[in-house]
Chains A and B, each alone.
Chain A
Amino acid sequence: MDSGRRRRFVINPVAAGVAFDRDSAANRKCRYIGIEGQRMNIYYVRQFWFDDFYDSSGNLQRAFITVSDFNQQNIKVTAQLNAFGPGAHIEIDGNTISGDIGYAAVGIKWYEFVDDQGNFQHVDNGYFVPHATIHKCVGIQLELAFNRSWVGATGAFYYFTD
């Protein structure tokens, strides 16, 4: 890996959710997180899981799966919560009720790939992106974040050829 050619950028989650012009320079980056329906020749499916996580303390807890053995294969990844049971903390002071309830989210924290020019690219997401299509994938990190809740999440990597 040539660190001199390494570039880092952040995908705007709003921009990633809208249709785009494939020919614009800015959107050539975005095409690495595919948003259009498309046919794929899937030759391998690889599941991952965050099963049965629980926090009752009210402190945010995070779990990560980092995969770096994709060897520049094309990857479609999806992640979703499969169980969620929020806890609650409630305080009553006179006529005032305050507190918080549990929450959780899962998504792609970052991913890495080699672009058409052969440059290594690292992309940090600013949102819990639940799906992506990554050509010549090098690595992906998924994150489950949760607070005061019982939660599980799962998903899969789909290996495909163009």
Chain B
Amino acid sequence: MRIGAEPGPNKEHTHQTTHVVYDARSGRIVATHHVIGAPMISEQHGRDVLSSAHETSGVPVEYLALLIDPDLPQGEGEVRVDHASKRLVRTGSTPPRRIRP
């Protein structure tokens, strides 16, 4: 789940951050937000992200949690969040890739 974009023409002004919204009970990722150009992400933005994730997923907002700029572990398995360590981990479930390059 790599997400991102190249810098714009004014490269020195580009700031990028990734917010992962997940269900703290299961570690299941509900939404991933990659934000480019906003100078600082406010607490209000965090609340808006959680509220939006709640509306689209149906997961109660009190069970949603936010992980900011996590490292992505190597490998191919499905990604979830280990709530205790606040890190992304891969599960044993691998994608149904029927074709390879």
**A contact residues vs B (CB 8 Å cutoff):** 43-44, 46-57, 59-71, 73, 85-87, 139, 149-150, 157, 159
Contact A49 B2 (CB under 8 A): yes
Other than the given A48-B5, A60-B56, A67-B8, 14 more pairs (CB < 8 A) read A49-B2, A49-B3, A50-B2, A51-B2, A52-B76, A53-B1, A61-B29, A66-B34, A66-B38, A70-B8, A85-B95, A85-B96, A85-B97, A150-B97
Contact B28 A63 (CB under 8 A): no
Contact A47 B6 (CB under 8 A): yes
If A59-B28, A86-B96 touch, does A65 touch B34 (CB 8 Å cutoff)?
A: yes
In the bound assembly, the distance between CA atoms of A35 and B34 in angstroms comes to 27
Q: Which of B9-17, B62-70, B81-89 contacts A (4 or more CB under 8 A)?
A: B9-17
Contact A56 B93 (CB under 8 A): yes
In the bound assembly, the distance between CA atoms of A160 and B88 in angstroms comes to 38
Q: Which of these, B5, B32, B34, B38, contacts A46 with CB under 8 Å? A: B5
A21 to nearest B CB, angstroms? 34
Give the chain A neighbours of B8 by CB distance below 8 A.
Answer: 44, 46, 67, 69-70, 157, 159
Shortest Cβ distance from A54 into B: residue: B95
Q: Does B30 lie at the interface of the complex (its beta carbon under 8 Å from any beta carbon of A)?
A: yes
Give the chain B neighbours of A59 by CB distance below 8 A.
Answer: 28, 30, 57
Contact B10 A69 (CB under 8 A): yes
Contact A66 B57 (CB under 8 A): no
One digit per residue, 1 when the CB lies within 8 angstroms of any chain A CB and 0 when it does not, for chain B 19-55 equals 0000000001111111111100000000000000100
What are 25 A-B contacts defined by CB distance under 8 Å?
A43-B9, A44-B8, A46-B5, A46-B8, A47-B5, A49-B3, A50-B1, A50-B3, A52-B2, A53-B1, A54-B93, A54-B95, A57-B28, A59-B30, A61-B32, A62-B53, A63-B32, A63-B33, A65-B4, A66-B33, A71-B10, A73-B9, A85-B97, A87-B96, A150-B96
